[in-house]
């Protein structure tokens, strides 16, 4: 089975199991950038709470630039690492304003994926996942953001070689997932990672992609060897 066919089959099983995903709707790039920075090293629940508090308390992102970093940290405390994230968000937005003359990333629309990635990665504190989230969710560019769930599950499914690091996984998945399926595949794998293919205790016995999984087979043979 070729890799793209395998990806289509995996997605079809995920869709049957977890239901239809919300239709693609572009987000504001600055919102996406801030939201993704807040999501680093914490749960969605905590980062979304921090983001909501920030939005309620600030009239605009321009106002954030005039707000003391200590106050920003206080507002985003639910996301954890508040001092680091407050400093990161403020310096990223300050740099965008300096380069663009306003808090707007509309210029990225005109760039190809590599150039847009380079632009975002050149902002201090913006890693491959954050950059890819902005390009996929705000500009609809076909690039796969790789978070901890996607990194783990796609390796188990044999889509990413085990020895690959996160940067290599980004490149590999962006290249092999059919462009029109990246958004759906991204959401589907994350949901699978949260609900079934859990880090320490994957529920292989009830997994919808069990037959397509390399990790499951390995675990099975390893167990058999141990029983000899």
Q: Which of 100, 83, 95 is nearest to 123 (CA)?
A: 95
Nearer to ligand SF4, 85 or 156 (CB): 156
Report how far residue 76's alpha carbon sits from residue 65's, in angstroms, rounded to the nearest whole number. Answer: 15
Report how far residue 173's alpha carbon sits from residue 144's, in angstroms, rounded to the nearest whole number. Answer: 6
The H or E element that residue 186 is part of is helix 182-195
Region for 194 from its dihedrals, namely left if φ exceeds 0, alpha if ψ lies in -120 to 50, beta otherwise? alpha
Nearer to ligand SF4, 13 or 80 (CB): 13
- Any idea which residues carry the catalytic annotation? 129
Nearer to ligand SF4, 30 or 197 (CB): 197
CB of 184 to ligand SF4, least distance (A): 17
Token readout for 188 is: 């589907």
Number of H-type helices and E-type strands within the chain = 12, 0
Interacting residues with ligand SF4 (CB under 6 A)? 153, 156-157, 196-197, 202-204, 207, 209-210, 213, 215-216
Nearer to ligand SF4, 128 or 188 (CB): 188
Q: Is 34:89 a contact under the CB 8 Å cutoff? A: yes
Question: Would you tell me how many other CB atoms lie within 10 Å of the CB of residue 57?
Answer: 15
Report how far residue 221's alpha carbon sits from residue 224's, in angstroms, rounded to the nearest whole number. Answer: 5
Question: Would you tell me how many other CB atoms lie within 10 Å of the CB of residue 226?
Answer: 7
CB of 41 to ligand SF4, least distance (A): 23
Q: Determine the angle formed by the axes of helices 182-195 and 128-139, rounding to 10 degrees.
A: 130
CB of 131 to ligand SF4, least distance (A): 27
Report how far residue 200's alpha carbon sits from residue 49's, in angstroms, rounded to the nearest whole number. Answer: 26
Nearer to ligand SF4, 50 or 197 (CB): 197
CB of 166 to ligand SF4, least distance (A): 19
CB of 183 to ligand SF4, least distance (A): 20
């Amino acid at each position: 089975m070729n890799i793209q066919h395998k990806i289509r089959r995996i997605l079809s099983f995920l869709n049957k199991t977890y239901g239809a995903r919300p239709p693609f709707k572009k987000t504001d790039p600055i919102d996406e950038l801030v939201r993704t920075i807040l999501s680093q090293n914490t749960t969605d629940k905590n980062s979304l709470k921090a983001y909501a508090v920030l939005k309620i308390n600030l009239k605009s992102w321009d106002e954030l630039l005039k707000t003391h970093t200590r106050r920003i940290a206080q507002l985003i405390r639910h996301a954890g690492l508040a001092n680091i994230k407050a400093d990161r968000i403020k310096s990223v937005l300050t740099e965008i304003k300096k380069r663009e003359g306003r808090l707007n990333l509309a210029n990225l629309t005109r760039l190809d994926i590599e150039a847009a990635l380079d632009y975002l990665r050149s902002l201090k504190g913006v890693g491959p996942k954050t950059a890819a989230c902005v390009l996929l969710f705000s500009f609809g560019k076909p690039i796969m953001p790789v978070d901890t769930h996607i990194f783990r599950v796609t390796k188990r499914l044999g889509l990413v070689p085990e020895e690959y690091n996160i940067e290599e996984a980004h490149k590999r998945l962006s290249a092999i997932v059919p462009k029109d399926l990246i958004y759906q595949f991204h959401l589907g794998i994350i949901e699978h990672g949260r609900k079934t293919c859990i880090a320490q205790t994957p529920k292989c016995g009830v997994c919808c992609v069990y037959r397509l999984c390399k990790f499951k087979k390995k675990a099975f043979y390893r167990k058999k060897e141990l029983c000899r």
